[in-house]
Amino acid sequence: MAESAFLAGIGPIHAECESRRGEIQESLIRVDRDFHQRKLDLKACDDIDTFKSRLREVGKYVPSAFDSQFKPAKVGDCIGLTVRDADGIAATIGVRLYRFTVTSLADQLETLSLFYSNPAEQMVPGERMSIQGDADAYASRIGEKVYWTGGLWVRPDLRGRQTNFPKILGIAAGSMAHARWGRVGMVSVTEKVMVERGLVSKSYDIQHILDSIVWTHPARPEKREWVLIAKDSDYIARQTLSHSAGDVPLVYREEERRRIA
pLDDT of residue 216: 87
The DSSP annotation for 243-261 comes to HHTT-S-SS--GGGHHHH-
Instruction: List average pLDDT for each run of 10 residues in the chain, which is 261 residues long.
Output: 84 93 94 92 93 94 90 92 96 96 93 93 90 97 95 90 89 96 96 84 85 87 89 96 87 46 38
| CB atoms closer than 10 angstroms to residue 122 | 15
Continuous segment of H or E residues that includes residue 77: none
| CB atoms closer than 10 angstroms to residue 132 | 13
Considering the entire predicted model, what is its pTM? 0.91
What distances in angstroms separate CA 257 from CA 79, 128, 155, 206, one per listed residue? 29, 40, 20, 17
What distances in angstroms separate CA 162 from CA 49, 147, 257, one per listed residue? 30, 28, 11
| CB atoms closer than 10 angstroms to residue 141 | 10
pLDDT of residue 252: 54
What distances in angstroms separate CA 206 from CA 8, 13, 121, 236, 237, one per listed residue? 27, 24, 34, 10, 13
By C-alpha distance, which of 113, 109, 261, 122 is closest to 188?
A: 109
Q: Are 55 and 62 in contact (CB under 8 A)?
A: yes
What fold does the segment set 4-248 form as a domain? Aminopeptidase (3.40.630)
pLDDT of residue 259: 43
- In sequence order, the β-bridge partners of residue 211 are none
